[in-house]
Amino acid sequence: MMEQERLIWVAGLGLAYAGVCVAAWQQWRRSRRAASVAAPLLVAYASQSGQAEAVAQQSAATLQAAGLAVQCLPLAQLDVAALQQTSRLLLVVSTTGEGEPPDMARRFAANLATPAALGELQYAVLALGDRRYTPFCAFGHALDAWLAASGAQPLYPCLEVDALDDVVLATWQHQLAELAGLQDSALAAQPLLPAATPFASWRLQERRCLNEGSSGAATYHLALQPADGSVLPQWQSGDLVEVQVPAEPGRPREYSIASIPADGCLQLLVRVRVDEQGQPGLASQHLTCDLALGDTLSLRIRPHRRFRLADNATRPLILIGNGTGLAGLRSHLRARQQLAAPQPGWLLFGERQAVHDFYYRHELQALQQQGVLQHVDTAFSRDQPQRRYVQHVLAEQAERLQQWVADGAAIYVCGSLAGMASGVDAVLRQVLGEAALDELAAQGRYCRDVY
Ligand SMILES: Cc1cc2nc3c(=O)[nH]c(=O)nc-3n(C[C@H](O)[C@H](O)[C@H](O)COP(=O)(O)OP(=O)(O)OC[C@H]3O[C@@H](n4cnc5c(N)ncnc54)[C@H](O)[C@@H]3O)c2cc1C
Ligand SMILES: Cc1cc2nc3c(=O)[nH]c(=O)nc-3n(C[C@H](O)[C@H](O)[C@H](O)COP(=O)(O)O)c2cc1C
């Protein structure tokens, strides 16, 4: 009995001591955060399709409105020396490909191989990702681990955001409020993401199969108009649409827009996705088969800022893609066609067989005659015994590639991530050099819409 009482006392004292320690630690963290409220704050982002960028900019705006000195920069514009001059850093980064950094942050990511001396830095990471991909939020975690290994002190544990989960974004907002020395309620009214365009009803006006007789899955050209007859909304070449699938309204599917508003309708290039058991995918089946001409569907346009022409509008363009990837490239070609004297263009397109799968062949030939395209190189993988892909053509044209890049060209890649985009990336690295390609990505001259 005596022994038991003693044990209870000891356990009680231990718990009380632990409680005092936790309270003291929390007090210390609070005072440390409060003490540094006055220090300037850097919000840095790395984003592939614009979401992390939007969250970062809104976070910076929120802190600025609360009176803090804040700078918001792409990670591409930073190096270790810049971080050594920084006292507080908030990172908002996404993950792309299969656990890779966004293209714009590749050059910075090369730093992660070795720890730096960042003992003076306090930081927090908001890692955007999607649990359907593995590894989840890999780039955010890699940055977090590197900063910790470099001696930087976390202001908060790394936050993982699955598909822009509101609950986690609210936690981030709570942390921003704490850093700004504000009540949560003062920030709650400011959403971290700009309101997305609402879904609207669009009518299917035209649908054509582009690859009759193909050995691959059927691919269709679709044209759509606002169902209520209103004027077309504006978008830019390179943008995407999100389509609601009636059978699965919670998870919209993305499609690259193949037209520009001057075409008078929204055009898509959609391939039926079929799994190994022959089961078609929900959205692609709906768009290419279930939906009849004149039927409506719910979609919204999403700006894809990092795949727009933007500053590259006045540069020569190297457009590389396979299959439905031609959609995103075609919108850029349509935009170029509107110009009186467009800069040169070079298209590299890959599919299976020229006789069945050369989508928009006449249109591309016309663009060549008009001088919008100087070169159209194709790789039809099954037109010869040896498989031949777009990356092989690019490697054969190494000299031209170097010349075009030296002349200021921007490179746009659209289509399959596996096989095409990775193969093209390997050739670009080999021909242009690793550092030069990362530099092009950081400058926004290497842009990818790959899936
Ligand atoms: C940025 C971007 C741009 C894109 N642009 C285009 C474009 O221009 N054109 C285009 O055609 N596509 C494009 N895509 C792909 C497109 O978004 C869809 O992923 C594609 O159409 C397949 O969607 P789905 O609904 O038909 O298939 P899903 O229903 O999502 O299914 C995909 C595959 O998984 C299988 N599957 C579904 N559910 C399960 C399950 N529970 N378990 C196991 N397997 C399952 C399906 O049978 C199918 O093979 C793009 C994607 C991205 C991210
Ligand atoms: C082609 C593609 C690949 C992706 N790969 C990953 C991944 O490997 N891991 C992950 O957690 N999320 C992955 N995602 C999800 C994105 O990180 C997520 O959608 C994020 O919100 C995008 O932010 P961004 O627009 O700033 O790039 C991927 C998304 C796409 C479209």
Residue among 94, 161, 255, 306 whose CB has most ligand 2 atoms within 8 A, to mutate: 94
Measured in Å, residue 155 CA sits from the centre of ligand 1 at: 38
CA angle 139, 141, 146 (to 5 degrees): 95
For 36-188, CATH number out of 3.40.50.360, 3.30.1380.20, 3.30.160.150, 3.90.1150.10 equals: 3.40.50.360
| One fold for 36-188 and 305-450 | yes
Q: For domain 305-450, say whether CATH 1.10.3720.10 is its number.
A: no
Cβ(328)–Cβ(258) below 8 Å:
yes
Q: What is the pLDDT of residue 21?
A: 58
CA distance 283 to 444: 31
Q: What is the pLDDT of residue 40?
A: 82
CA distance 43 to 40: 10
Per-residue pLDDT tens digits for 194-234: 888 899 999 999 999 999 999 999 999 999 999 999 999 99
User: In this structure, which ligand is nearest to the CA of 284?
Assistant: 1
> Can you read off the two tokens belonging to residue 224?
């759509």
User: In this structure, which ligand is nearest to the CA of 161?
Assistant: 2
Whether 313 shows a pLDDT value over 70: the answer reads yes
Cβ(243)–Cβ(299) below 8 Å:
yes
| Residues constituting the chain | 451
Whether 69 shows a pLDDT value over 70: the answer reads yes
Per-residue pLDDT tens digits for 266-279: 999 999 999 999 99
Measured in Å, residue 329 CA sits from the centre of ligand 2 at: 21
Measured in Å, residue 276 CA sits from the centre of ligand 1 at: 13
Q: Which has more confidence, 436 or 197?
A: 436
The verdict on the CB of residue 152 being under 6 Å from ligand 2 is no
With tokens 């001591």, the residue in question is 17
With tokens 């100087």, the residue in question is 374
CA distance 358 to 354: 5
153 — pLDDT class (breaks 50, 70, 90):
very high
Cβ(315)–Cβ(346) below 8 Å:
no
Residue among 209, 221, 253 whose CB has most ligand 1 atoms within 8 A, to mutate: 253
Cβ(284)–Cβ(274) below 8 Å:
no
Whether 19 shows a pLDDT value over 50: the answer reads yes
Average pLDDT, the chain: 93
Whether 30 shows a pLDDT value over 60: the answer reads no
Cβ(93)–Cβ(139) below 8 Å:
yes
| Ordered strands of the 240-245 beta sheet | 248-256, 240-245, 296-302, 200-209, 219-226, 266-271
31 — pLDDT class (breaks 50, 70, 90):
low
Q: What is the pLDDT of residue 193?
A: 86
Class of 200-302 in CATH: mainly beta
Per-residue pLDDT tens digits for 88-112: 999 999 999 999 999 999 999 999 9
Question: Quick one: DSSP state of residue 135?
Answer: S
190 — pLDDT class (breaks 50, 70, 90):
confident
Q: What is the pLDDT of residue 5?
A: 77
Measured in Å, residue 451 CA sits from the centre of ligand 1 at: 9
Q: What is the pLDDT of residue 44?
A: 98
Mean pLDDT of 419-439: 97
The verdict on the CB of residue 79 being under 6 Å from ligand 2 is no
Q: What is the pLDDT of residue 2?
A: 61
Burial of 261 (0-12, 13-18, 19+ CB in 10 A): middle
Mean pLDDT of 313-327: 98
With H, G, I as helix, E, B as strand and everything else as coil, classify residue 427. Answer: helix
Where does 181-261 have alpha helices with state H?
Answer: 184-188
The verdict on the CB of residue 130 being under 6 Å from ligand 2 is yes
Question: Quick one: DSSP state of residue 234?
Answer: P
| Ordered strands of the 375-380 beta sheet | 375-380, 345-351, 317-322, 410-415, 446-450
Per-residue pLDDT tens digits for 335-352: 999 999 999 999 999 999
CA distance 126 to 144: 9
Q: What is the pLDDT of residue 191?
A: 83
Per-residue pLDDT tens digits for 287-307: 999 999 999 999 999 999 999
240-245 and 248-256: which strand pairing?
A: antiparallel
Mean pLDDT of 357-372: 97
Measured in Å, residue 213 CA sits from the centre of ligand 2 at: 35
Whether 387 shows a pLDDT value over 90: the answer reads yes
Whether 35 shows a pLDDT value over 60: the answer reads no
375-380 and 296-302: which strand pairing?
A: unpaired
**Domain residue extents for the chain:** 1-25, 36-188, 200-302, 305-450
Measured in Å, residue 55 CA sits from the centre of ligand 2 at: 14
Instruction: Identify which of 108, 176, 181, 122 has the alpha carbon closest to the alpha carbon of residue 150.
Output: 122
Among the residue ranges 33-42, 90-99, 356-365, 408-417, the one predicted with the least confidence is 33-42
